[in-house]
Structure 1
Amino acid sequence: MLRTAICCAVLLALPWCHGLVTKEKPVVAHFIVGNTYPYTRADWQRDISLAASKGIDGFALNMGNDSWQLDRVADAYDVARSMDSGFALFPSFDMGIIPCREERDGDMLRDFVNAYHNHSNQLAFKGNPLASTFGGQGCYFGQPTVNEGWRRVLKRGLPAVHFLASFFMDPGIYGSMDSADGAFSWDSAWPMGNYDITDEYDVEFRKYLKGRTYMAAVSPWFFTHYGVDTLNKNFIYRSDDWLLARRWELLVSGRDQIDIVQIITWNDYGESHYMGPIASAQPGSESWTNGFDHQGWLDLQAYYIRAYKTGTYPRVERDRLFLWGRLYPARAHTQDSLKKPMNSEFTEDFAWVVALLAAPAQIGLRCGESRVVENLPAGVSKLRLPLVHDCNVVAILVRDGATVLRFEPPGFRFSTTPHAYNYNAFVAASP
């Protein structure tokens, strides 16, 4: 198992210590600071406490260069320190927002590293504070090449930084890029076509990194629905077939070659892959996120996080059912002023179910006339229920002839006549 230098150990309840060496593999969540304009210290405390309770070690703070964003980041670091929780933070510089053409454009990044490299809650890896990006493959910072630009900004005249680039480019470029200590593969979280998730990106990145740090991604969903007058993105990635569970299973099986896992995301409402509470300023996504709480995924994910960190799937101590799916048919037509999202043909009309069972049991699923009954062993099982007609989704767990659990999540109603295109997931977890 790789030895990891990381400035937190939430699961071990250890105090914070800069440069602490541990075999625990860090699991962090991507956090959009741009959605936190109204955030108070209490909001940060709520999110940090909730994330830590689900096995998440820290937040990758996706940040721009607005002064108010820097203020919110300062609050996050200060609150994390005041909580004495060992919860870690590190910058994920959003290079789609931060200018990077001129040499002086790198000053903001350098100033940030100087300000936080010794902070008690700054995530460190292999002994040095960690910094990452979202994009940046076109950043020259006044230098002849991208590689020289990033070397100038983060590798000269600064405290040592462990830099994980997240560039949207052929991973083969990393083979000749010495400015980066490793890479984060954002797109590894979803299949990039109409097929199931695989580890193709993991394999390709590791091939060219040649032993440098590799951070893999995991995400439960992807749907965004913005018109040309706003962000101009309207598409889905294929999120069927229990994407969250299957991606985690790939990460667990390949854990010896994966140094860090980054969850996409805690609070990106605009792309529908948020797992935290809907509790901040939404980026115009209210029409497809309001009423679609995703926190049920956190408990399911906690099970897989523990398996990734230890290399062994934990024994299930309590029966839990996790259900999710779209509320409207993929092929339905609406009066939406915005056209149907691209790739909508990639998804099928099913309720996706993951059962965590403490002992063998029978699970029954139904929605109107659609029914599925299966006898399942203890541990983790996956089921799916076709969604055809207007109906409410119901799950029943029976053991030894007695009903142990009847779960009919309020709001999980499939409707064949949507008013607008909404491919977001409705998520529910049994008590």
Structure 2
Amino acid sequence: MYCNGLYISCGCSRPQIRRLVLSLSRPMQSLLPFLLVALSLTAGTQSRTHGRRLHNAGHSRSLEELELELPTRTTKLSANWNLDRSFAIDNETALAKRDNTKYVFMHHIVGNTQANWTADIQAIGAQGVDAIALNIGGDTWQRTQIGYAYAAAQAISSPVKLFISFDFTTNLGCDLNDIVQRTLQFSSHPSQFKVNGRAMISSYEGACLGDAGWRSLKDQTNGYIMPFISGLEGNFGAWSSFDSWYCWGCAWSQNNQDKNTADDYYYISQVGSKYATTVSGWFYTHLSDKNRILRSDDWLLNNRWNQIFQMRDQLTFVEMVTWNDFGESDYFGPVTANQPTGTTWADNFPHTAWMDMSAYYIQAFKTGVYPTVTKDVIYFWARPHPHDATATADPLPQPANYAWTSDYLWAAAFCSSTCTVTLKSGTSSSQTWTNLGAGVNLLQLPLAPGRVSVAMSKGSTTVLSASPTDFTYVSVPSLYNLNVYVGAASATSTATTSTATATTSTSTSTTTTSTTSTATTTTATTTSTTTTTTTTTSTSTDTAATSAATVTWSYQGCYTDNGGSRTLRGIEIDSSTGNSISSCQSQCQVAGYLYAGVEYGSQCFCAAAIASGVSTWDESHCSYPCPGGAGKCGGFNAINIYKASSASTATTTTTTTSAAAATVTAGGQSWSSLGCYADSTNQRVLPAQVYEGPSNGVTSCLTSCANAGYSFGGVEFGSQCFCGNAAPASSLIATSDSCNYACSAGSASGICGGANRINIYSISGGAAPITTPPAGADTGSWTYLGCYPDSPSSRIVSALEVDSASSNSIASCETTCSQAGFSYAAVEFGQQCFCGPSLLSGVSAVADSHCSYACPAGSGNCGGFNYASVYYKPASSSTSSVTTVGSTAWTHLGCYNDATNARVLSYGAYDGPANSVSSCLTGCGGKGYVYGGLEFGQQCFCGSTFTSKTATASSNCQYHCSGDSAGLCGGFNYVDVYYAASGLH
């Protein structure tokens, strides 16, 4: 039998088919997972392929013929295709229909945003999300933030629940007892998300616990286990502790093809009804060690939701990725100043409209029926420059995979009835679509230099139009940015009416909800729906003229705002539980400001004037309830602003401003202000955090730093105090108005930094770092250099990492580094060993009291939490392999396990028939990378950093190079890693 490239022949013998041969042309190869599932069900048992999973589509071989033997109870597959792995289909559970209850989660990176938990929880829940996955690492301040989150959810009786997602790629460590205790702290909390009475426990990675560890965690906490752990393909049966497993990387395509469901169905064939998946709108990052885009074109978010809808019978849980991971451009929440160091692509690139759009699809997934479109909206998104443009001032190279994205304005037009839509880009690109049907219409337009605009009309009436003034498409950028600006234009006249007077503002909204029996399409065409509609009306009233003490405040309106350029640029005071209109006005009055503004529910801003050029917005955008009182406290990037009578402010005696005091006397020392600096949770300007809480002030913080022997002190985020012994880099200097948070002890205590902004002070004669070895250190011929601050994102010694929770010692680490040919060895966190040819520049040693963790083996101390004990020995002859390419000596570090969704080296430089060790390392060195890696024979990867695991046996890296049969280029999911030890310029 033959059909469109599929040829099936059967060799039959009674009582069952014994042999089945399939010949597939290339266009039909995408059907392989579906054919295997169908064949397994026909056979009534298991089907196995010894093959590489389709998730790695970029490495699949030409499939000419598959031959299946079908005995009574088994189905076997053999073929002349390069298949290396196995999977099993559980016929009873793989495609079994799930319970009709569906849940949608939102992944929240704890610490990347301010402590605005009330507003975050309300905003996420407003679109139908059931629970928030709280991504947490090992920092103590994250534990505090988790507590704030649970308290906020309980305080507002939110239907949105919470659960912890342990991120094992951070400094979390792998201490089972610690994970158990963190879980038990909140497992009985009223806001804990539970499955059949069991607290949900999730993770990003976590193979270090092993199945036995996860089983113990489950038993000790009565938990419901749903981790993401990579590299388990073909071996899920060995992880019986899992109640569910979710696929993080399945939100995006891993190659230059539109996202499909092949990887979803592959994993369904592996784990059956335990499978959960993810959805996202974009992926782009532009850091030195992670510089790439994943294919996100062709309405990825819309089509991914449609795919999930079509798979809903096989799904119970779907996780949205993410609320606030600005560093990878996959955020649904509002952009804040708290971003990973070096992030230049998120400010002024909002994505919140995607959150609003997702509400439609969330309802469809949870109910099984697409809702009727009752409000006319155009959602649109675009990148700011051509994908292949050359940036004029970017220190980093062009992002990897830049050719995977196309230069289009993408749009999703939600039409309540037949409509006409016009898209424009610049002056040379425009198109109008007439008679689009009711429902969702997916449209695209080639981008051209200039502003973009969208419009919808019905008959002769224009019902909506928009042309953002804060987004322009340019031909030549100064910096690379493949992120997208996401906007929305709504026909407010059909959905919301508002009136405003000098004293009150009343907003009345009519919301229509409906159901439909027809599904939306996934192409750029009209989706028609037939509906029945139920209408509900709600009314809320805000007080626009209020009094704080004897001051009269008049309401000025709802204004646009964003974290990159504030509408009120004085000070910011946040409270996720107590913020209200009156409390904000009172604090601004005490501080001597004329204007007060409330935003995002929990934020209060004060300023002497409203920033020029900022416009008012429809009142419907300022709809968030105040957690501490009546009325509305702004919204997403929307602020309610009030003005005090000028006579009253003239009598104010307190005149705190956003400028930090020039000199402060504290702890018996005179401190000088160095100014406001950019800071990051990934790489602290001052490494030692000594306090976080409600009593923080400039004087109290600097006193603590002086008493601890530090010569630098800094205050941040209102409530945080940091100390250190090294001056901050001048490149991190920020504008003084970005340090505008009042200290948590009160505005009289001074200005305490801002969001990822720190006010730094210095004294002379600070405590000198101790450079004598700790007692009992076994240094041999190595010289102890001292205790140094360290962080996972910027290692003090960075070439090689070898960890051991049971056998790490100073001597074993020195031996490892010596054998690898490195001059520097560092031990940290008890169990970590790092090697390298040099120390990170600009970092100074601190007191040895920070390096107090006992080594699990041997004598002495092995660093501390984010502190490394560093040793030095001049380089000697090495037993490691060194390859010289040109003038560069590359040291072979070993063979390491790799995964497509968590690469050891992040930059994919080459994949083809001419790969060799020398060509790969030449290419990596030419691009300025100090690490090169070879895998699967034909692949070359590069990187500026190397996040390693323990090296595996060299027998795993035995694939001959595709361009040099005498050389070895890694293996299947194993990469040979090299380090440029010298000669690279």
Asked if TM exceeds 0.5, the reply is: yes
Aligned pair 1:357/2:420, yes or no? no
- Tell me the equivalent position of 1:109: 179
Identity of paired residues, percent?
35
1:423 aligned to which of 479, 482, 485: 482
1:314 aligned to which of 344, 368, 371: 371
Task: Answer whether contact 1:269 1:285 (CA < 8 A) is retained.
Answer: no
- Structure 2 unaligned spans of 5+: 1-96, 491-985
Equivalent position amino acid for 1:190 in 2: W
1:410 is displaced (CA, Å) by: 2.4
CA distance in 1, matches of 2:373, 2:172: 48
Q: Which whole-Å deviations, capped at 9, do the CAs of 1:357-390 have from their partners, x for residues lacking one? A: 0001111111121122212110001000101x31
2:128 aligned to which of 22, 47, 55: 55
CA distance in 1, matches of 2:470, 2:446: 17
- Tell me the equivalent position of 1:275: 332
1:404 is displaced (CA, Å) by: 1.9
Task: Answer whether contact 1:269 1:283 (CA < 8 A) is retained.
Answer: yes
Equivalent position amino acid for 2:407 in 1: D
2:107 aligned to which of 9, 30, 46: 30
Q: Which 10-residue stretch deviates more, 92-101 or 415-424?
A: 92-101
CA distance in 2, matches of 1:99, 1:64: 5
User: What aligned pairs does 1:154-303 form with structure 2 within 5 A after superposition?
Assistant: 154-156=217-219, 158-212=220-274, 214-227=275-288, 232-279=289-336, 281-303=338-360
Q: Which has the higher strand share?
A: 2
CA distance in 2, matches of 1:163, 1:44: 25
2:399 aligned to which of 341, 347, 350: 341
1:262 is displaced (CA, Å) by: 0.3
1:72 aligned to which of 132, 135, 145: 145
Runs (4 or more) in structure 1 with deviation over 4 Å come to: 98-101
Q: Which 10-residue stretch deviates more, 168-177 or 190-199?
A: 168-177
Task: Answer whether contact 1:185 1:201 (CA < 8 A) is retained.
Answer: no
- The SS at the match of 2:180 is helix
- The SS at the match of 2:443 is strand
Q: Which whole-Å deviations, capped at 9, do the CAs of 1:294-317 have from their partners, x for residues lacking one? A: 111111111110111111110011
Equivalent position amino acid for 1:313 in 2: Y
Aligned pair 1:136/2:199, yes or no? no
CA distance in 1, matches of 2:197, 2:105: 17
1:34 is displaced (CA, Å) by: 3.2
- Tell me the equivalent position of 1:2: 98
CA distance in 1, matches of 2:238, 2:272: 11
1:401 is displaced (CA, Å) by: 2.9
CA distance in 2, matches of 1:272, 1:129: 30
- Tell me the equivalent position of 1:126: 196
CA distance in 2, matches of 1:280, 1:72: 17
1:64 is displaced (CA, Å) by: 0.6
CA distance in 2, matches of 1:429, 1:98: 39
1:339 is displaced (CA, Å) by: 0.5
- The SS at the match of 2:444 is strand
Rate the CA distance shift 1:211–1:390 in 2: closer, same or farther, 3 A.
Answer: closer
Aligned pair 1:379/2:439, yes or no? yes
Equivalent position amino acid for 1:421 in 2: Y
CA distance in 2, matches of 1:280, 1:70: 21
Aligned pair 1:369/2:465, yes or no? no
CA distance in 2, matches of 1:285, 1:361: 43
1:100 is displaced (CA, Å) by: 4.7
Aligned positions, number: 391
Aligned pair 1:93/2:172, yes or no? no
CA distance in 2, matches of 1:264, 1:134: 12
Q: Which whole-Å deviations, capped at 9, do the CAs of 1:399-424 have from their partners, x for residues lacking one? A: 11332222212223211010010111
CA distance in 2, matches of 1:160, 1:305: 29
1:176 is displaced (CA, Å) by: 2.8
Rate the CA distance shift 1:126–1:256 in 2: closer, same or farther, 3 A.
Answer: farther
Q: Which whole-Å deviations, capped at 9, do the CAs of 1:308-351 have from their partners, x for residues lacking one? A: 11111100111000000101110000131000111111000001
Q: Which 10-residue stretch deviates more, 176-185 or 302-311?
A: 176-185
Rate the CA distance shift 1:322–1:64 in 2: closer, same or farther, 3 A.
Answer: same
Task: Considering Cα pairs closer than 8 Å and 6+ residues apart, tell me whether 1 or 2 has the greater RCO.
Answer: 1
Rate the CA distance shift 1:155–1:50 in 2: closer, same or farther, 3 A.
Answer: closer
Q: Which whole-Å deviations, capped at 9, do the CAs of 1:207-254 have from their partners, x for residues lacking one? A: 111332x22100000001111xxxx11111100000000000000111
Q: Which whole-Å deviations, capped at 9, do the CAs of 1:73-100 have from their partners, x for residues lacking one? A: 0110011011101211111100112455
Equivalent position amino acid for 1:398 in 2: S
Q: Which whole-Å deviations, capped at 9, do the CAs of 1:138-166 have from their partners, x for residues lacking one? A: x04xxxxx2223223x134x131110120
Equivalent position amino acid for 2:247 in 1: S
Aligned pair 1:150/2:214, yes or no? yes
- Structure 1 unaligned spans of 5+: 4-22, 141-145
Rate the CA distance shift 1:425–1:268 in 2: closer, same or farther, 3 A.
Answer: same
1:56 is displaced (CA, Å) by: 1.3
Larger Rg: 1 or 2? 2
Q: Which 10-residue stretch deviates more, 91-100 or 259-268?
A: 91-100
Rate the CA distance shift 1:280–1:87 in 2: closer, same or farther, 3 A.
Answer: farther
Task: Answer whether contact 1:364 1:373 (CA < 8 A) is retained.
Answer: yes
Rate the CA distance shift 1:99–1:296 in 2: closer, same or farther, 3 A.
Answer: closer
Equivalent position amino acid for 1:136 in 2: G
- Tell me the equivalent position of 1:7: none
CA distance in 2, matches of 1:215, 1:34: 25
- The SS at the match of 2:234 is helix
Equivalent position amino acid for 1:406 in 2: S
1:286 is displaced (CA, Å) by: 4.1
- Tell me the equivalent position of 1:12: none
Task: Answer whether contact 1:187 1:201 (CA < 8 A) is retained.
Answer: no
1:413 aligned to which of 472, 475, 497: 472
Equivalent position amino acid for 2:446 in 1: P
1:285 is displaced (CA, Å) by: 4.7
Rate the CA distance shift 1:148–1:131 in 2: closer, same or farther, 3 A.
Answer: same
CA distance in 1, matches of 2:316, 2:143: 28
- The SS at the match of 2:345 is helix
TM-score, reference length from structure 2: 0.39
Task: Answer whether contact 1:65 1:108 (CA < 8 A) is retained.
Answer: no
- The SS at the match of 1:96 is coil
CA distance in 1, matches of 2:120, 2:282: 20
- The SS at the match of 2:235 is helix
Rate the CA distance shift 1:114–1:163 in 2: closer, same or farther, 3 A.
Answer: same
- The SS at the match of 2:98 is coil
CA distance in 1, matches of 2:389, 2:318: 36
Task: Answer whether contact 1:328 1:422 (CA < 8 A) is retained.
Answer: yes
Q: Which 10-residue stretch deviates more, 201-210 or 270-279?
A: 201-210
CA distance in 1, matches of 2:128, 2:342: 28
Rate the CA distance shift 1:255–1:85 in 2: closer, same or farther, 3 A.
Answer: same
